[in-house]
Amino acid sequence: MERLYDYLMTHKPMPLHQRHAHKLDASQVDEIVQLLALAFENGSGISQICNAEGEELHRRLHILFRAGIAVQAAANQLVLSAMQDERVTGVAVVQEPESRFPLWAQIVWLLQVSIGVSPVVAWRLWQSLRILERHHPLEPHYYLMLLGVHPNFQRKGYARALLEVLHARSEAHPTSRGVFLETANPKNVAFYNYFGYQIKTQVNINGIENFIMFRPNFVNRRG
């Protein structure tokens, strides 16, 4: 995980010029996986695809996210995280402009999900990703794959802090035109609207309605 970085914002969200970075170690990966499993176990598209409840749902999410973080590391992609008192409180999993995930890493991910969860869940996830790919903007962009905050730290500004870091990276990037995301939780739409995201379309995949959203860089808007 030589290029998997952790942008730290302690206590309250900090101005962007005060952020700094360091490499993730194994203990932080464990903490991030646990946080994502907790953040996505209620009402998310991923939890619906997992088709389980309680401890079994948490186990399945844990496997999915651990395998996903491994793919991020193989592709040298970023995981942004907010922290308080050395504890990870929020995570943003990001794909950078014009980057690709290695095919071998994707195959390993599918095998891990098939064996650890079920082949049906692996197939549904793969199918969802392939369909969503068709709706990505044609121009270079950042892809916000996951944004999660620990349930004990929600509504304290951590998601906002992570988005501000991501938006600043996109606006400073030489080719990025903005940030793309999708969400299956209707409650998230107004939240993302507040930060400049607009719905481009809606896609129903396996009975789950996905809102496709994009935030153009402000510098591009001025241009």
How far, in Å, are 74, 78, 88, 111, 148 from residue 24 at the CA level? 14, 10, 11, 25, 17
What are the pLDDT digits (tens) for 76-134? 888 888 888 878 899 999 999 999 898 898 899 999 999 999 999 999 999 999 999 99
Q: Which two structure tokens, joined as six digits, stand for 208?
A: 């789950």
The DSSP secondary structure of 107-136, one letter per residue, reads: HHHHHHHHHHT-HHHHHHHHHHHHHHHTTS
The CATH architecture that domain 5-222 belongs to is 3-Layer(aba) Sandwich (3.40)
Domain extent listing, the chain: 5-222
Q: Which residues of the chain have pLDDT under 70?
A: 1-27, 219-223
Q: Tell me the helices (H) and strands (E) count for the chain, helix number first.
A: 8, 8
pTM for the full predicted model = 0.86
Predicted local distance difference test score (pLDDT) of residue 123: 94
Predicted local distance difference test score (pLDDT) of residue 218: 84
CB-based contacts of 29, cutoff 8 Å, min separation 6: 1, 66, 69
DSSP state of 86: T
Tell me the residue length of the chain.
Answer: 223
